[in-house]
Amino acid sequence: MRLKDQVALITGAASGIGKESALLFAAEGAAVVAVDVNEAGAAAVAGEITAAGGRASAVKADVSKAADCEAMVAAAERIYGKLTVLFNNAGISHADDDDAITTTEAVWDLTFQINVKGVFLGCKYGIPALRRAGGGSIVNTASFVAILGAATPQLAYTASKGAVLSMTRELAVIHAREGIRVNALCPGPLATELLMKYLNTDEKKQRRLVHVPMGRFGQAREIAQAALYLASAESSFVTGAEFLVDGGITAAYVTPA
């Protein structure tokens, strides 16, 4: 098993990438702490894992709140004795996110509180736990739009994921000698509830799909498989990476400097 004896904390675990990662990580031997602001959803995922013979616990947390992030890490160590994998996956894409003129300050602030501050707080409290465990892996969910920019305006989201990407690079450099790897997972457009709520018309969907060489939206399970690689020892020499899983969209539009 690729995560045997590992303890993985996954935020945003009630749905989408987080849920699929929780199920996959558990199947690969990890004890999973399923974290979400949706307590019932996190509990359902943890229940699904335990029913299949795995180890999992659900924790309710709002990742934009320091006390909640401190508590979720403490729960992992209290229940399972350590934390070795931290997947800062929770994030939002607001339906009213648009260009600089249209996007409200409230939408901007909410997006950054969850998408950026949530990753910062996860690392703030998670890194000391990884040190206590003797090292481990941090995976932060960024996005292909952190590199490419979105065809359909979503300025707050794009800027927030750019912040996650740059934060990941710096954390990777700072903690490399401590046996703590930090990588950014950059999904392309996915057929998840999060994106489909934003791409809420056929026109918006096609505007995105026309740019994807594979011609389809990705699946959350495909991103979970990439997260598993970054979480596992198979990626032992990988840190500070922008790990693109995007159906070729970035390769089609970004020219190396």
Tell me the catalytic residues: 157
CA separation for the pair 230, 162 (Å, rounded): 19
Query: How many alpha carbons fall within 13 Å on the CB side of residue 180?
Result: 27
| CB contact at 8 A, 143 and 186 | yes
> Largest Cα–Cα distance of the chain, in whole Å?
51
DSSP the chain: -TTTT-EEEEESTTSHHHHHHHHHHHHTT-EEEEEES-HHHHHHHHHHHHHTT-EEEEEE--TTSHHHHHHHHHHHHHHHS---EEEE------TT---TTTS-HHHHHHHHHHHTHHHHHHHHHHHHHHHHTT-EEEEEE--GGGTS--SS--HHHHHHHHHHHHHHHHHHHHHGGGTEEEEEEEE-SB-SHHHHHHS-SHHHHHHHHTT-TT-S-B-HHHHHHHHHHHHSGGGTT--S-EEEESTTHHHHH----
